[in-house]
Amino acid sequence: MSVASRVCIVDTNVIVSGLIGADSNSPPARILDAMLDGDLLYIMSDNLLNEYSSVLRRPRLSRLHRRTDDEIDRLLTDLVANGMWRQSAVGGDAPDPGDDYLWALLAEHPRAQLVTGDRLLLENPPSGASVTSPRHFVDAFLSSRNT
């Protein structure tokens, strides 16, 4: 197994895609698996955890991923246990104000890389920060990980 050599922040859309996608070998599924297996260095914060939780519990998404509240709680517990906990940063000037906390985390952890499928974030990264797609992240950091 290969461990990503770079610390990352995994956006909620990657977690959701990893759960609802039909392809267990898709980049989001591989990223989620690496997080759950402890094979990925990633930052967690209360804002990010709250976002994961609230989005995964949306009725429309619940019907797609078919996980109970207890199963979601266990998933989130595992993600917190394997991640590096950081206090939520404040501020940020993301293209979508709902993502300001991601920009603030990147500002506080400049060596971290945001992994997102959000086109707006990918096309408008903060100055001096790294924002990448799940596909690029897998190709660059998880390509040798056994599937």
Q: How far apart are CA 145 and CA 64, in angstroms?
A: 27
Q: Which amino acid is at 61?
A: L
The 10 Å Cβ neighbour count of residue 105 is 23
pLDDT of 2 reads: 42
What is the phi-psi region of residue 68: left when phi exceeds 0, alpha when psi lies from -120 to 50, beta otherwise?
Answer: beta
- Locate the domains of the chain by residue range: 8-142
Query: For 33-90, what is each residue's pLDDT tens digit?
Result: 999 999 999 999 999 999 999 999 999 999 999 999 999 999 999 999 999 999 876 7
E strands, the chain, in order: 8-10, 43-44, 84-85, 113-115, 130-132
Angle value at C-alpha 120, between 137 and 91, nearest 5 degrees? 95
Q: What is the mean pLDDT of the chain?
A: 91
Q: Where does 8-142 sit in CATH, by number? A: 3.40.50.1010
pLDDT of 147 reads: 45
Which residue shows structure tokens 């995964």?
A: 56
Q: pLDDT band at 144, cuts 50/70/90?
A: low
pLDDT of 91 reads: 78
Q: Which amino acid is at 114?
A: L
Q: How far apart are CA 61 and CA 55, in angstroms?
A: 8
What is the phi-psi region of residue 38: left when phi exceeds 0, alpha when psi lies from -120 to 50, beta otherwise?
Answer: left
141: DSSP letter = I
- Is pTM beyond 0.85 here? yes
DSSP conformation letters of 74-112: HHHHHHHHHSEE-PPP-----SSGGGHHHHHHHHH-TT-
